[in-house]
Amino acid sequence: MNFLGIESSLTGRAWVGPSAEVERQSEAMVQQTTLPRPLCQTLARLGVAPEEAETYLAPQLRDLLPDPRGLKDMERAATRFLLAAEQRERIAIFADYDVDGGSSAALLVDWLRQTGVAATLYVPDRIDEGYGPNEPAMAELARAHDLIICVDCGTLSHGPVAAAKGADIIILDHHLGAETLPDALAVVNPNRQDESGDLAHLCAAAVVFLMLVEAGRQLREAGKSGPDLLAMLDLVALATVADVAPLRSVNRAFVRQGLKVMARRDRPGLVALSDVAKLDSAPTAYHLGFVLGPRVNAGGRIGKADLGARLLASNDPNEARSLAERLDQLNAERREVEASVRAAAMEQAEGRGLDAPLVWAAGEGWHPGVVGIVASRLKEATNRPAVVIGLDGDEGKGSGRSITGVDLGASIQRLAAEGLLNKGGGHRMAAGLSVARDQLEAAMERLSELLERQGAAEAGPSDLRLDGVLMPGAATVELVDQIDAAGPFGAGAPGPRYVFPDMAIGFAKRVGDSHLKLRFGDGLGAQMDAIAFGAFDTALGSALEAHGGARFHLAGRLDINSWGGRQSVQLRLEDAAPAG
């Protein structure tokens, strides 16, 4: 039974409400606690039992932090790291060029700097070197360093690790491991094949943080003290959200605590980035994923690969300001490049058909730095796994994004093992690959077969999941604050979405190229504002703009709008359907 009977909304989606079990759980929570019903509905959907509600709303990192020694090679990695720091050895950090890699590197650079050790930062060029360690770079670093720490990469880098002769190698990663590991001193990775998988949801920065926790434990056992690790959680929070790690268990605690640290504005790089992005309020998980994260990523995508890591690691406000301005400029350029590739990729994918197990596109000269973002857009538009590849000469480099329940990383890794890809790896929801031009069609056909076996072809248009019904008079700032306590929301823990039923639209006005601003009410006096981003990209915008007095069910998420020192609740409108 569709929620409010909506089988096909203005955006073509069926509306699905809470299950009977969630309804029972939320009703029990309402009766056993003093919490408002909308909050109980959200908690019940997240799987929180009534007796756990109070604890869930105030998570403590000390209660949720896993024992670092539960990960293989962890003690060995921390011991070697401490030895290098204490003996002032030459340390190099080899980092991936995305937010997770940059945050991971900045954690180590910051920790070492506080102990008086300067580390060498190396971030490979996306186009010239590709993802992960490569043999020439590792051999060169090994000639000048005693210890090389690979962060957010390295688990599949057998050859490059072997090329680093004379240096010890520590790998701190979270990407899917193969049956054999590189010959490194330590490979700490919750996604090694011999791990339990209990911590598979951690991003690389969280793995690095756990190693620093273990290093702190070893220091205390020796009667010494180390840097304040809680002050570094801003970097872990940024990486967790930007890498789309599920916001559950310790990840949720990392992000909640990290946002509090970030609000103190102690880290020059994040202060400069927030200022250049005109972020004038306390940061939220949304800001990490959609405001700060893309700017940190911009250097690795279309600029100098190490800009993001250098910004996050900087302790000089002037340097940080300069780097932030450059990244902001690159991010604007990235958006233009992305828009062009996105249009071409969608046209090509539509030509192949959007109902296949795999949606894919490949184009001449498409920038490798934006193919991952475009793959995300294709995935969101089709609710199918998507791969986008930029071709250059005899090879193509691409990225893929998956949907819930379909392990793209394992399938990509299998293709590489079968020889259909030159290189490939990743995790369940995202993967990277390189493929010979003459193998492209065969590789995509085989990948489609593998994904179909996992049910990728069975996913229909993405339903709109709704938590319940709300009326304008009940949507108060206090209620939104209470609901926010169940967050942060994001991957693996989507924020609540409500329907305002049978609403009259007071006015509707187009804003910019594709957005819609409107005001609506229940006819009894209570009114609310709403903003629908990208409304005119679908039938939603034109239908509501020309409402003609008709009434609609309006669905979306609640936001706090701050203006002139006053706060009000605003609906971030995502969908609508005619009422009656």
CATH number of the domain enclosing 444:
3.10.310.30
Residues 201 and 307 grouped into a single domain = yes
- The CA-based dihedral angle spanning residues 126, 130, 135, 137, taken in that order and rounded to the nearest 10 degrees: 0
Q: Please name which of 541, 571, 546, 535 lies closest in space to residue 556, comparing C-alpha atoms.
A: 571
Residues 407 and 360 grouped into a single domain = yes
Report DSSP letters for 291-322, one per residue: IIHHHHHHHHHHS-TTHHHHHHH---HHHHHH
Evaluate whether residue 35 is within a structural domain.
no
Size (the chain), residues: 580
Evaluate whether residue 288 is within a structural domain.
yes
Whether the Cβ atoms of residue 144 and residue 97 lie closer than 8 Å to each other: no
Evaluate whether residue 480 is within a structural domain.
yes
Which run of H or of E encompasses 85? helix 74-86
The pLDDT assigned to 138 comes to 98
Evaluate whether residue 492 is within a structural domain.
yes
What is the C-alpha to C-alpha distance for residues 148 and 281, in angstroms, rounded to an integer?
39
Provide the b/e sequence for 96-111 (b: ≥16 CB within 10 Å): bbbbbbbbbbbbbbbb
Evaluate whether residue 158 is within a structural domain.
yes
Report the 10 Å Cβ neighbour count for 312: 30
Residues 196 and 312 grouped into a single domain = yes
Beta bridge partners of 94: 122, 150
What is the C-alpha to C-alpha distance for residues 132 and 425, in angstroms, rounded to an integer?
10
What is the C-alpha to C-alpha distance for residues 254 and 213, in angstroms, rounded to an integer?
13
pLDDT tens-place values along the chain, 580 residues long: 689 999 999 998 899 999 999 999 999 999 999 999 999 999 999 999 999 999 999 999 999 999 999 999 999 999 999 999 999 999 999 999 999 999 999 999 999 999 999 999 999 998 889 889 999 999 999 999 999 999 999 999 999 999 999 999 999 999 999 999 999 999 999 999 999 999 999 999 999 999 999 999 999 999 999 999 999 999 999 999 999 899 999 999 999 999 999 999 999 999 999 999 999 888 999 999 999 999 999 998 888 899 999 999 999 999 999 999 999 999 999 999 999 999 999 999 999 988 899 999 999 999 988 999 999 999 988 889 999 999 999 999 999 999 988 999 999 999 999 999 999 988 888 899 999 999 999 999 999 999 999 988 776 556 899 999 999 999 999 999 999 999 999 888 999 999 999 999 999 999 988 899 999 999 888 999 999 998 998 899 999 999 999 999 999 999 998 777 789 999 999 999 999 7
What is the C-alpha to C-alpha distance for residues 125 and 455, in angstroms, rounded to an integer?
36
The pLDDT assigned to 427 comes to 83
The pLDDT assigned to 458 comes to 76
Quick one: 344 exposed, middle or buried, by C-beta within 10 A (0-12, 13-18, 19+)?
middle
Sign of CA dihedral 553, 557, 563, 567: positive
What is the C-alpha to C-alpha distance for residues 449 and 461, in angstroms, rounded to an integer?
20
Evaluate whether residue 58 is within a structural domain.
no
The pLDDT assigned to 130 comes to 83
Q: Structurally, how many domains does the chain consist of?
A: 3
Could you tell me the end-to-end alpha-carbon distance of the chain, in angstroms, rounded to an integer? 17
Residues 162 and 230 grouped into a single domain = yes
Domain boundary among 392, 423, 458: 458
What is the C-alpha to C-alpha distance for residues 171 and 484, in angstroms, rounded to an integer?
36
Residues 438 and 321 grouped into a single domain = no
CATH number of the domain enclosing 539:
2.40.50.460
Look-up: residue for tokens 């945050």? 103
The pLDDT assigned to 377 comes to 92
Q: Please name which of 449, 439, 335, 300 lies closest in space to residue 385, comparing C-alpha atoms.
A: 449
Do the strands 430-436 and 423-426 form a parallel or antiparallel pair, or are they unpaired?
A: antiparallel
Quick one: 136 exposed, middle or buried, by C-beta within 10 A (0-12, 13-18, 19+)?
exposed
Residues 308 and 403 grouped into a single domain = no
Residues 122 and 213 grouped into a single domain = yes
Indicate the residue type of 402. S
Residues 278 and 410 grouped into a single domain = no
CATH number of the domain enclosing 287:
3.90.1640.30
What is the C-alpha to C-alpha distance for residues 80 and 102, in angstroms, rounded to an integer?
22
The pLDDT assigned to 456 comes to 87
Residues 76 and 135 grouped into a single domain = yes
> What range defines the domain where residue 102 resides?
64-328
Residues 135 and 236 grouped into a single domain = yes
Domain boundary among 311, 328, 345: 328
Region of 404 please: left (phi>0), alpha (psi -120 to 50) or beta.
beta
Look-up: residue for tokens 């406000």? 317
DSSP annotation of 564 reads T
- Cβ neighbours of residue 40 under 8 Å, at least 6 residues apart? 26, 27, 29, 30, 33, 53
Which tokens hold the place of 254?
Answer: 């990392």
Evaluate whether residue 341 is within a structural domain.
no
Whether the Cβ atoms of residue 145 and residue 394 lie closer than 8 Å to each other: no
Whether the Cβ atoms of residue 422 and residue 412 lie closer than 8 Å to each other: no
Residues 282 and 170 grouped into a single domain = yes
Domain boundary among 458, 492, 521: 458
- How much is the mean pLDDT over the chain? 94
Evaluate whether residue 339 is within a structural domain.
no
What is the C-alpha to C-alpha distance for residues 442 and 398, in angstroms, rounded to an integer?
15
Residues 505 and 472 grouped into a single domain = yes
The pLDDT assigned to 461 comes to 59
